[in-house]
Amino acid sequence: MIDFHALAEKFETPLYVYDFDYMASQFEALKEAFRGRKSLLAYAVKANSNLSVVRHFAKMGSGADCVSIGEVRRALMCGVPKYRIIFSGVGKRDEEIVEAIDADILYINVESEAELMRVETIAASKNKVARISVRVNPNIDPQTHPYISTGLHANKFGVDLESAKRMYIRAKNAPSLEPVGIHFHIGSQLTQLSPIRESAEIVADLVRSLAALKIELKFFDIGGGLGVRYKEEQTIAPYEYAQAILSTLTGLDMTVVCEPGRFLTANAGYFLTKVLYEKRNGDKRFVVVDGAMNDLIRPSLYNAYHHVNALGKTGEASAADIVGPVCESGDFLAKSYPLPMMAHNDLLVLESAGAYGFGMGSNYNTRGRSAEVALERGEARLIRRRESYEEIIANEKEFLEL
Ligand SMILES: *Cc1c(COP(=O)(O)O)cnc(C)c1O
């Protein structure tokens, strides 16, 4: 049992709390599922990029899947070895490509023919060889929320099979490129196995046809996307997941690379917020809290559900919208949520807040971002200070003309 009251007292609210032991057990469960096969788990840093979180996974032998050079720097800083770092993302600036090549990471995931040409040109100008993989868009509907679906041609991610083939042929013939991997990532919060299996089959077939052209790839990168339970979702067991992938790889000797984000961190996280007051507009009941969409945007952005625990409160529950102070009607943490009568300073704990929570935060309404706390073996420690007003205005202050 986590003593949320004590944490709220000590670190104040709004506050993110992460159970590091839970993160470790999720990591081990997935690692175990791929046991006996060559595999690399590369934590998707964007899910929760706090340095202490990245370091926690690095210590367990994790790699890092990064979607900006900033994330690559975080991974290196936290001790992830360069040969376990992957740089993905649909758009990369030249400076980012230069730095990734200089850092000698495992490979750059390329998402378009135009990008392949940039990487080729940049590597050639430096007299270096860039290791690459191509992100294939298998045009499979992942059956998840449209905002987190990435594996359809209607999404901006990856390239179709024909383009991928052309890109590999080009890469093979380019002295400054070395194709080493193939990648797909069809979406996030996946709860159905069949789209994953179908995608893996399509991509594995492409690997075989490339092998016939003497293009031998080492890394079969299946992206992330494993769903978690927020409410009542059916989830995919790591073992079933691994078996589905491995079953498509018969006859291929490849290292499976998996890039889990949400699976490792979502249910390790709690968002703590205090009640400011109750209010009614006509028949409608609102519970106004000190946390807001700038702290946790998932409800506003995806209509995401987070289980809310009104700690220690009893009494008859009735539906309330839990809303923050931000000046947007879209600023809510829950809609029509059954809650007992709440009073000033009561604590609400939103569960499953460890992925895409803090990292999507902003300073909207000049609100400092929350503090973050790690729980490990019964000990709580601060891993990020609450952002101050001075920090928010730091980059503007010098330009103020009075
Ligand atoms: C976001 C992302 C991931 C992680 O997705 P989860 O759903 O959090 O597991 C993995 N790989 C790539 C390329 C991504 O963009």
Q: What is the pLDDT of residues 198-256, one digit of tens each?
A: 999 999 999 999 999 999 999 999 999 999 999 999 999 999 999 999 999 999 999 99
Q: What is the number of the ligand 1 atom nearest to the C-alpha of 67?
A: 15
pLDDT at 221: 98
How far is 242 from 251, CA to CA, in rounded Å? 16
Within a domain: 52 = yes
Q: What is the number of the ligand 1 atom nearest to the C-alpha of 226?
A: 9
Asked if residue 284 and residue 175 are part of one domain, the reply reads no
Angle between helices 69-77 and 94-103 (to 10 degrees): 30
Asked if residue 250 and residue 145 are part of one domain, the reply reads yes
Tell me, using a 6 A CB cutoff, whether residue 261 lines ligand 1: yes
Asked if residue 185 and residue 59 are part of one domain, the reply reads yes
Q: What is the number of the ligand 1 atom nearest to the C-alpha of 355?
A: 8
Asked if residue 107 and residue 65 are part of one domain, the reply reads yes
Provide the domain limits for residue 102.
34-260
State which of 182, 185, 220, 264 you would mutate to test the pocket of ligand 1, scoring each by most atoms of that ligand within 8 A of its C-beta.
Answer: 185
Tell me, using a 6 A CB cutoff, whether residue 332 lines ligand 1: no
Within a domain: 350 = yes
Q: Which protein residue has the closest C-alpha to ligand 1 atom 12?
A: 223
Q: What is the pLDDT of residues 356-395, one digit of tens each?
A: 999 999 999 999 999 999 999 999 999 999 999 999 999 9
Asked if residue 55 and residue 155 are part of one domain, the reply reads yes
Asked if residue 367 and residue 303 are part of one domain, the reply reads yes
Q: How many structural domains compose the chain?
A: 2
| Single-letter code of the amino acid located at 168 | Y
Q: For this structure, is 258 an active site residue?
A: no
pLDDT at 150: 75
How far is 238 from 313, CA to CA, in rounded Å? 36
How far is 18 from 31, CA to CA, in rounded Å? 21
pLDDT at 141: 83
336: CATH? 2.40.37.10
Asked if residue 158 and residue 9 are part of one domain, the reply reads no
93: CATH? 3.20.20.10
Within a domain: 318 = yes
* 225, 260, 295 - which closes a domain: 260
Asked if residue 310 and residue 236 are part of one domain, the reply reads no
Residue the block writes with tokens 């599922």: 33
Within a domain: 23 = no
* d(CA 187, ligand 1 centre) in Å: 7
* 231, 260, 289 - which closes a domain: 260
pLDDT tens string, the chain, 402 residues long: the values are: 899 999 999 999 999 999 999 999 999 999 999 998 999 999 999 999 999 999 999 999 999 999 999 999 999 999 999 999 999 999 999 999 999 999 999 999 999 999 999 999 999 999 999 999 999 999 888 877 777 777 777 787 889 999 999 999 999 999 999 999 999 999 899 999 999 999 999 999 999 999 999 999 999 999 999 999 999 999 999 999 999 999 999 999 999 999 999 999 999 999 999 999 999 999 999 999 999 999 999 999 999 999 999 998 999 999 999 999 999 889 999 999 999 999 999 999 999 999 999 999 999 999 999 999 999 999 999 999 999 999 999 999 999 987
Tell me, using a 6 A CB cutoff, whether residue 41 lines ligand 1: no
Tell me, using a 6 A CB cutoff, whether residue 188 lines ligand 1: yes
How far is 88 from 103, CA to CA, in rounded Å? 15
Tell me, using a 6 A CB cutoff, whether residue 46 lines ligand 1: yes
